[in-house]
Amino acid sequence: MTAPEGRGIAGRTDTFRILHVSTGNVCRSPITERLTRHALVGRLGDPLSGGLIVESAGTWGHEGAPMEANAEVVLADFGADASGFVGRELLDEHVIRADLVLTATRDHRAQVISMGHSAGLRTFTLKEFTRLVRAIDPATLPDPLDEGVVERARALVRAAAALRGWLLAPTAEADEVYDPYGAPITFFRSIGDEINQALDPVVTALTGVRAPH
């Protein structure tokens, strides 16, 4: 069997894959995927030109399903593109190819790590990764203009993994993004705000570019 394209355990390439994981891949991870892409476009113009690829999947993913209608509304609130989304069940190949896996909850993180593929050092909950990234001095990361966004992103993941045992969450719940499935639009919007706030410092650290104002 040929190793899937990408890094993970499959070798280095000139791309960096970010995989967002939740349960059904119809609420939280689609919102996070599309908000990440939207933020990257705001900073880089075209994230693919920087080598960044953003995907999502679910541990109990509704294969082939559209995202929830309320998730689409949340994305529209942020001006992000919800079109063309198709739900996926999390597979080994997704984890193998990912350079960074960001999960909604600690349970999702544990499930990804239990799949193997040396995923432990590149799998975090979204809020955990945000907390770690905030503690990393950007000056210690490769300059994206000199060495490229991909090298900077790889260095960021290594730095975050090294900090994990030293910078613990204030509470267990601090690293969770709760499931809005079946909830009213007001709760979806609060989750969308939570995700967007968590993503902002992550995308800034990945790209070296602050959000445009």
| Tens-place pLDDT, residues 51-105 | 999 999 999 988 999 999 999 999 999 999 999 999 999 999 999 999 999 999 9
- According to DSSP, the residues that pair with 125 across neighbouring strands are 103
Q: Find, among 70, 60, 61, 4, the residue nearest to 31 by Cα.
A: 70
Residue holding tokens 């967002």? 20
pLDDT at residue 12 in the model: 45
Structure pTM? 0.92
pLDDT at residue 48 in the model: 66
Q: Which residues of the chain have pLDDT under 50?
A: 1-12
Q: Domains plus CATH for the chain? A: 14-203 (3.40.50.2300)
CB 95 within 8 A of CB 101: yes
- According to DSSP, the residues that pair with 51 across neighbouring strands are none
